[in-house]
Structure 1
Amino acid sequence: MKMGKKHLISLVTVLSISLSLLAGCSQQGGGTDKGESEEKGKDSLVVATMSETPTLGAYDHNSVAGDYMNKLTYSTLFRTDADLNPEPSLVDTYENTSDTEWLFHLKQGVKFHDGSELTAEDVAASITYSKTCPEVNLYNRCILTVEAVDNYTVKIVTDGPSATLLYDLCHHANAILPKKLLDSGNDFNENPIGSGPFQFVEWKRGDSVEFKAFEDYFGGAPAIKSMTWKIIPEGSSRTIALEAGEVDMIIEVEAMDVERIESSDEFTLLKHDSTNINWLMLNNEKPGLDNQNVRHAINSAINRDDIIAAALNGIATPVYSASPMGMLGSTDEGADTFDVKKAQEYMDASGVDPASVEMSIICSNDTKKRAAEVIQANLSEIGINCEIESMDLATYLSATADGNYTASIGGYSPSDMVSYLVGVYHSKSIGGANTTRLNDPEVDALIDQAAATVDPAAREVILKQATVRLNELCSQVSLYQSVLLRAYDSDLQGVAINAGGHIRFEDISWKA
């Protein structure tokens, strides 16, 4: 039995117009022209990315930057398709034999990077171990037991009917690792051995991560034989590196450079609506921010349109609800809108002196910093003074997970609504993705009920109730839903993304 999901996600739009390349020297040094780029060979790829992964392991993070790396080196039982529905990956066939029992029959002959064969024992050992890891175990907590029935059959028993199991099995939290390496205490951050399409070669901290094609990949050897991910935090520097031929693809395109990239037929700009929702996270345990009326005042005082104009060059959609638009159960019912007068009324009703509210908005990139500057100006209108603090992604993730912050710009890329609500709002995710540290029994109960409701229509009703309650609590301030932007050399083919932002690099090649 394969479960579906309701989506309102637009099709990919690919834009490419003719004009001459912008000239100039690269801020990364040593600019090259198009001809020199081609001399690198038609089987190598250099990718520019904004943030450095906090780890190469699969179970000790919950970051998008880490997920990019994990998708290269590890495989999972399922993966998300173009519409974000789960489809078999390591699994050949499967059966839902009862409300709580699943049988998964694995593809045979799958190899790990060390040459050993992937079996059901590896699956059982991996998921069992992942369940002990607090950073990611929200993606397998519904699993009571996982066992190897034979070499190629895995039985999973859940703690009740599960609407999310197949989606969870797509997540890097359930990546399959060699049992013998898990048993020996292998450091997967230093030695990330999996069965993915690419093998790890070298990580130069602060600079780059290098991979090579895994020729025995069960999906077929990738056409790209050598791939380097260059860490370039500054947006315009990534654009310059693409123009100079130093990189072939940009993962996070600087929104202010979109027209510039579109103006050249040397490059292709790919746009895709996403499920990625971005917020102003508020630590609900901090004085002032623990007051619901103060949070509503902040929510009502913030002008989303100004944030999108200043931070994203107008390329995003404002969001007011606590849950992403276009997903099952999303609603604006009970959500605040931009209304400075109403914000002041909320502030007055709170009984809190706005000057006493301490807020330092931490940001991990330039886009977030630009958004924070707009928020800073907005909140000054109701007497709340904010500071803006920049920090690297790893430090940012640690601070927000541990609750060592007051406010921060963050985001989440869900594949389904239940997993999103569990990760962002359930009390069991405090210390993980529930960075506001919300602990509301009613919200927890509704999320748990939705997770156990297999029928989509019935689940939608419960999810809407949960969203209305979250809009009432206003634990954080939703800001906008992103448009995914990817730019790449027009001689590349096979580049495609889904609404979660995933690119299958094993499908990419250079035109002959």
Structure 2
Amino acid sequence: MRNRKLRLLSLFLATVMMLGLLAGCNSSGGDDKKSNGGGNKDSIVIATMSETPSLSPYDHNATAGSYMNLLTYSTLFNTDVEMNPQPNLVESYENTSETEWVFKLKQGVKFHNGDEMKAEDVVASIEYGKTCAEVNLYNQCVETIEAVDDYTIKITTPGPSAILLNHLCHHGNAIVPKKLLDEGHDFASDPVGSGPYKLVEWKRGDSVEFEAFADYFDGEAPIKHMTWKIIPEGSSRTIALEAGEIDFIVEVEAMDYDRLAGNDEVAIYEYDATEHNWMMLNNEKPGLDNVNVRKAMDCAIDKESVIAVALNGMGTAIYSQAPNNMPGASEENVNSFDAEQAKKYMDESGVDPASIEMSIICSNDTKKRAAEVIQANLKDTLGITATIESMDLATYLSVTGEGNYTASIGNYTSSDMVSFLVGVFHSKSINGSNKTRLNNPEVDALIDKASATIDATERDKVLQECVSLINTLTPQVPLYQPVNFRAYNANLQGVEVSPSGTLYFEDVSWK
């Protein structure tokens, strides 16, 4: 098992679940579901608000998709609860020079189709990932990869790399059978990896069902049957947990926190997330391409009110363009909530507020509540009229990625600052996760310099300089970092979540 620190806000004594809960779980999918007494329950039903856009690890860069990929695929490394990369499919490794890494693979690792994983599968998978626009920013530090023998690979990087191991944790570098890649297998609907679970059925718009992979290299998962229910509305997820229809909520409705915390059959896991939430602004659109307009918006928005309305007060206001709980963070050159300064920036921009066309896209209720506060602030302080548009997650990701929008409430999660900056602000991520479409050579150069700086102290200095510069450019409006929660049946154990939101369900079991 992985060494993670468990931080529970409320963990109550477990009680034997009523027969009604058993029946509720049976109705949600899975086979013979037993009572959870004595650790003999072998199924779990999980509620999440958003459906994955794909079951392939290469077709998306969405959190909802990452949850699914962690179940069915494995990567060379994965992150622990402190967000440090740890060997996963790798037995041992050595950085043999500034640009050369040699990795010894674990032997006997089986794919879901029964084939053994070998070096040729690793080479083919990472080379394929490099061709996929949604994820290739996570393997651009791999200049070449080759199989030395059946269980040894060698990777060369363009220069010294401080991020290679972090990137090898990303689902975009998941390992799949070379034979299936060569055959053009559809991993988007039929995932075949070496992860702890195998797909049983995907009922689009409703649920995704999995079963434990008996030959998983790290030992078969204790929970044999798993169903993910797609429940977009937050209070409906809460009601389902209270009624015993589900066992676990991934995204807890903040407005229901007190209610769940007072339920002695529910446990709550709280963690300070690296998830950085903002109002994305398309810097290529008229008006929004003016830095003073963007600064005016940043100063006009009352982020504490956003948190109160959207999160029931459970978050931290953010003024920097990057997360505040990662090495390399900087508050230099941030804008503060100041209505008079907002008006000054607007005057200096020379842009008529009435000329700015702005529709704020939202993909869930929390974002919509945030957008309502922003809408009022922009109108009252700057005279900017904004509309609010609801959109499902898959459409939202496509529209914002392509730049066919003006504004949107969004977020990004990463386990390290370099990866965050590459994903959100580097020009090579335009048409992917750089949704503001910021294209600044100085920003790119500083991110690249940090990526190649091995010494952590020196790297943090470069990162702080970079974040300070991005704060000056104000490509988007930072809003908050949430205090995130997972809520679940108190008879579950082994729940540990990293600040980046990673949870390994193969470590979860019933008491």
**TM-score normalised by the shorter chain: which range applies?**
over 0.9
Give, in angstroms, the shift of residue 508 of structure 1: 1.0
- 1:474 has 2:461 as partner: no
- 1:15 has 2:43 as partner: no
Give, in angstroms, the shift of residue 18 of structure 1: 8.8
Structure-1 separation of matches of 2:214 and 2:222: 10
> Could you list the per-position Cα deviations for residues 70-108 of structure 1 after superposition, in whole angstroms to 9, with x for gaps in the alignment?
000000000000100000000000000000000000010
Instruction: Within 5 Å, give how 1:401-412 maps onto structure 2.
Output: 401-412=401-412
Paired AA for residue 332 in structure 1: E
Paired AA for residue 170 in structure 2: H
Task: Name the structure 2 match of 1:249.
Answer: 248
Structure-1 separation of matches of 2:25 and 2:395: 38
Structure-1 separation of matches of 2:341 and 2:6: 38
Structure-2 separation of matches of 1:472 and 1:502: 31
Give, in angstroms, the shift of residue 496 of structure 1: 1.1
- 1:464 has 2:464 as partner: yes
3-state DSSP class of the match of 1:424?
helix
Task: Name the structure 1 match of 2:334.
Answer: 335
3-state DSSP class of the match of 1:33?
helix
Q: Which of residues 21, 31, 51 in structure 2 aligns to 1:34?
A: 21
Instruction: Within 5 Å, give how 1:275-286 maps onto structure 2.
Output: 275-286=274-285
- Conservation of the 8 A alpha-carbon contact between 1:10 and 1:273: no
3-state DSSP class of the match of 1:220?
coil
Structure-1 separation of matches of 2:230 and 2:224: 20
Give, in angstroms, the shift of residue 482 of structure 1: 1.6
3-state DSSP class of the match of 1:310?
helix
Task: Name the structure 1 match of 2:126.
Answer: 127
Give, in angstroms, the shift of residue 13 of structure 1: 3.1
Paired AA for residue 149 in structure 1: V
Give, in angstroms, the shift of residue 33 of structure 1: 3.1
Give, in angstroms, the shift of residue 17 of structure 1: 5.9
- Aligned-residue RMSD, C-alpha: 1.6
Structure-1 separation of matches of 2:283 and 2:78: 34
- 1:231 has 2:230 as partner: yes
> Could you list the per-position Cα deviations for residues 13-49 of structure 1 after superposition, in whole angstroms to 9, with x for gaps in the alignment?
33146999xxxxxxxxxx9833535773210000000
- Conservation of the 8 A alpha-carbon contact between 1:16 and 1:264: no
Structure-1 separation of matches of 2:488 and 2:5: 21
Instruction: Within 5 Å, give how 1:391-470 maps onto structure 2.
Output: 391-470=391-470
- Conservation of the 8 A alpha-carbon contact between 2:6 and 2:495: no
Give, in angstroms, the shift of residue 11 of structure 1: 6.9
Task: Name the structure 2 match of 1:28.
Answer: none
Structure-2 separation of matches of 1:390 and 1:38: 31
Structure-2 separation of matches of 1:351 and 1:476: 19
Paired AA for residue 462 in structure 1: V
Give, in angstroms, the shift of residue 203 of structure 1: 0.4
> Could you list the per-position Cα deviations for residues 230-265 of structure 1 after superposition, in whole angstroms to 9, with x for gaps in the alignment?
000000000011111110000000000000101111
Task: Name the structure 1 match of 2:29.
Answer: none
3-state DSSP class of the match of 2:275?
strand
3-state DSSP class of the match of 2:273?
strand
Task: Name the structure 2 match of 1:307.
Answer: 306
Task: Name the structure 1 match of 2:494.
Answer: 494
Structure-1 separation of matches of 2:118 and 2:59: 23
Paired AA for residue 276 in structure 1: E
Instruction: Within 5 Å, give how 1:334-413 maps onto structure 2.
Output: 334-381=333-380, 382-413=382-413
- 1:46 has 2:37 as partner: no
Structure-2 separation of matches of 1:304 and 1:193: 43
Structure-2 separation of matches of 1:35 and 1:408: 41
Task: Name the structure 1 match of 2:507.
Answer: 507
Give, in angstroms, the shift of residue 479 of structure 1: 0.5
- Conservation of the 8 A alpha-carbon contact between 1:281 and 1:408: yes
Structure-1 separation of matches of 2:68 and 2:398: 19
Q: Which runs of 5+ in 1 are unaligned?
A: 1-8, 21-30
Structure-1 separation of matches of 2:198 and 2:343: 55
Paired AA for residue 15 in structure 1: S
> Could you list the per-position Cα deviations for residues 361-393 of structure 1 after superposition, in whole angstroms to 9, with x for gaps in the alignment?
000000000000000011012100100000000
Give, in angstroms, the shift of residue 12 of structure 1: 2.1
Give, in angstroms, the shift of residue 470 of structure 1: 0.2
3-state DSSP class of the match of 1:142?
coil
Paired AA for residue 33 in structure 1: G
Task: Name the structure 1 match of 2:260.
Answer: 261
Q: 1:245 to 1:253 in 2, by over 3 A?
A: same
- Conservation of the 8 A alpha-carbon contact between 1:232 and 1:238: yes
Task: Name the structure 2 match of 1:27.
Answer: none
Structure-2 separation of matches of 1:328 and 1:504: 24
Q: 1:11 to 1:456 in 2, by over 3 A?
A: farther
Task: Name the structure 2 match of 1:138.
Answer: 137
3-state DSSP class of the match of 2:143?
strand
Paired AA for residue 390 in structure 2: S
Paired AA for residue 400 in structure 1: T
- Conservation of the 8 A alpha-carbon contact between 1:37 and 1:245: yes
- Conservation of the 8 A alpha-carbon contact between 2:5 and 2:496: no
Give, in angstroms, the shift of residue 68 of structure 1: 0.2
Give the TM-score normalised by structure 1: 0.94
Instruction: Within 5 Å, give how 1:160-199 maps onto structure 2.
Output: 160-199=159-198
- Conservation of the 8 A alpha-carbon contact between 2:25 and 2:246: no
- Conservation of the 8 A alpha-carbon contact between 1:360 and 1:408: yes
Paired AA for residue 74 in structure 1: Y
> Could you list the per-position Cα deviations for residues 465-510 of structure 1 after superposition, in whole angstroms to 9, with x for gaps in the alignment?
1011100000001110122210000111111111111111101111
- Conservation of the 8 A alpha-carbon contact between 2:278 and 2:410: yes
> Could you list the per-position Cα deviations for residues 337-377 of structure 1 after superposition, in whole angstroms to 9, with x for gaps in the alignment?
00010000000000000111111000000000000000001
Task: Name the structure 2 match of 1:220.
Answer: 219
Structure-2 separation of matches of 1:318 and 1:362: 21
3-state DSSP class of the match of 1:275?
coil
- Conservation of the 8 A alpha-carbon contact between 1:10 and 1:272: no
Counting matched residue pairs gives 493
- Conservation of the 8 A alpha-carbon contact between 1:16 and 1:269: yes
Structure-2 separation of matches of 1:345 and 1:32: 64
- Conservation of the 8 A alpha-carbon contact between 1:271 and 1:486: yes
- Conservation of the 8 A alpha-carbon contact between 2:6 and 2:496: no
Give, in angstroms, the shift of residue 454 of structure 1: 0.5
Structure-2 separation of matches of 1:374 and 1:17: 36
Task: Name the structure 1 match of 2:315.
Answer: 316
3-state DSSP class of the match of 1:224?
coil
- Conservation of the 8 A alpha-carbon contact between 2:14 and 2:490: no
Structure-1 separation of matches of 2:194 and 2:483: 31
Q: 1:66 to 1:356 in 2, by over 3 A?
A: same
> Could you list the per-position Cα deviations for residues 96-124 of structure 1 after superposition, in whole angstroms to 9, with x for gaps in the alignment?
00000000000100000000000110000
Paired AA for residue 119 in structure 1: K
Task: Name the structure 2 match of 1:102.
Answer: 101
> Could you list the per-position Cα deviations for residues 166-193 of structure 1 after superposition, in whole angstroms to 9, with x for gaps in the alignment?
0000000100010000000000011100
Structure-1 separation of matches of 2:313 and 2:181: 47
Structure-2 separation of matches of 1:301 and 1:18: 47
Structure-2 separation of matches of 1:281 and 1:48: 27
3-state DSSP class of the match of 2:256?
helix
Q: Identity percentage over the alignment?
A: 63
Task: Name the structure 2 match of 1:88.
Answer: 87
Give the TM-score normalised by structure 2: 0.95
Paired AA for residue 490 in structure 2: S
Structure-1 separation of matches of 2:268 and 2:8: 9
Q: 1:504 to 1:19 in 2, by over 3 A?
A: closer
- Conservation of the 8 A alpha-carbon contact between 1:106 and 1:152: yes
